[in-house]
């Protein structure tokens, strides 16, 4: 392997580790919320520094390759994609951290009726599945898997678009739980934004695999 090949393999390995860490962060944040587990929430908060450290390292290593190794063709596309994917994965880590903060300040688990009314279990499932699918697509160069991400995000958008009506109805029904319900809304927004960031990742994967720029294209279009 050439020096640049070694650099690229190391960057890929680090990004996969960061991606996997963020997947674990989101799952722990979910469990902390639904189980009222403050210790798990604090674990997520502490691990946020690891996510940030990965982001900084990947940025520096990618910039080093760009400046000193003069990558071309697919190597150049890889580095440019990594710089943007890195940012988006770190932002998802921030959302997991934000959900953990919500879990920390609640007195206990979110009641089952509020979970079901807000569709939080389905939103978590969809958002987490998107993160998994995008990682596998990157790790194994599974181009066909990327297209599925656009349809999955539509599910998150649909629930999020109904969020205000859902929350208003819940507040009318449970006026004593206003703060809890508003915290549930905050989590809904974070999960919807997670989907948006995975779509950004999907666009970068398409660019890396196909040299095709699809930014600002319709989300449900097949590329």
pLDDT at 212: 85
| Dihedrals phi, psi of 117, to nearest 5 degrees | -65, -35
For 191-219, the pLDDT digits (tens) are 999 999 999 999 999 999 998 888 755 44
The dihedral of CA 162, 165, 169, 170: what is its sign? positive
Determine the average pLDDT of the residues in 184-190: 98
Show the tokens assigned to 125.
Answer: 């499932």
pLDDT for 221:
47
Is residue 74 included in any domain, yes or no? yes
Please indicate, yes or no, if residue 218 is contained in any of the structural domains: no
220 has a pLDDT exceeding 80: no
Residue 215 in domain = no
Answer whether residue 223 shows pLDDT above 80: no
CA separation, residue 113 to residues 120, 126, 174 (Å):
11, 20, 11
Angle at 6 between CA 60 and CA 82, to 5 degrees: 45
pLDDT at res. 214: 81
pLDDT of residue 222 exceeding 60: no
Quote the domain boundaries for residue 80.
3-210
Residue 203 counted as domain residue? yes
Is 223 part of any domain? no
CATH number for the domain spanning 168: value is 1.20.58.220
Average pLDDT of span 77-101: 98
- Within a domain: 222: no
Q: State how many domains the chain has.
A: 1
pLDDT digits (tens, 9 = 90+) for 112-160: 999 999 999 999 999 999 999 999 999 999 989 999 999 999 999 999 9
Query: With contact defined as beta carbons under 8 Å apart, do 95 and 194 qualify?
Result: yes
DSSP assignment string, 49-115: HHHHHHHHHHHHHHHHHHHHT---HHHHHHHHHHHHHHHHHHHHHHHHHHHHHHHHHSSSPPPHHHH
* pLDDT score for 211: 87
- Within-domain flag for 216: no
What percent of the chain stands above pLDDT 90? Answer: 90
Q: What residues contact 162, with CB distance under 8 A and at least 6 apart?
A: none
pTM comes to 0.93
Evaluate whether residue 33 is within a structural domain.
Answer: yes
The single-letter DSSP state of residue 138 is: H
């Amino acid at each position: 392997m050439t020096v640049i090949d070694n650099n690229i393999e190391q960057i890929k390995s680090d990004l996969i580790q960061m991606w996997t860490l963020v997947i674990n962060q989101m799952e722990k944040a979910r469990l902390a919320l639904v189980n009222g587990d403050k210790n798990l929430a604090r674990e997520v908060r502490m691990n946020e520094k690891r996510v940030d450290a990965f982001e900084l390292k990947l940025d520096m290593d990618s910039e080093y390759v760009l400046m000193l190794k003069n990558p071309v063709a697919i190597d150049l596309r890889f580095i440019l994609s990594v710089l943007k994917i890195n940012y988006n994965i770190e932002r998802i880590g921030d959302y997991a951290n934000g959900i953990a903060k919500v879990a920390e300040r609640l007195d206990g688990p979110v009641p089952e009726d509020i979970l079901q009314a807000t569709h939080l279990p389905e939103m978590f499932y969809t958002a987490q599945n998107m993160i998994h699918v995008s990682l596998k697509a990157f790790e194994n160069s599974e181009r066909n898997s990327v297209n599925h991400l656009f349809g999955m995000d539509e599910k998150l958008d649909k629930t999020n678009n109904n969020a205000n009506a859902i929350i208003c109805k819940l507040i009318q029904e449970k006026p004593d739980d206003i703060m809890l319900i508003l915290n549930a809304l905050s989590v809904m927004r974070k999960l919807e934004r997670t989907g948006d960031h995975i779509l950004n990742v999907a666009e970068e994967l398409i660019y890396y695999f196909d040299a095709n720029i699809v930014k600002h294209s319709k989300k449900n279009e097949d590329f």
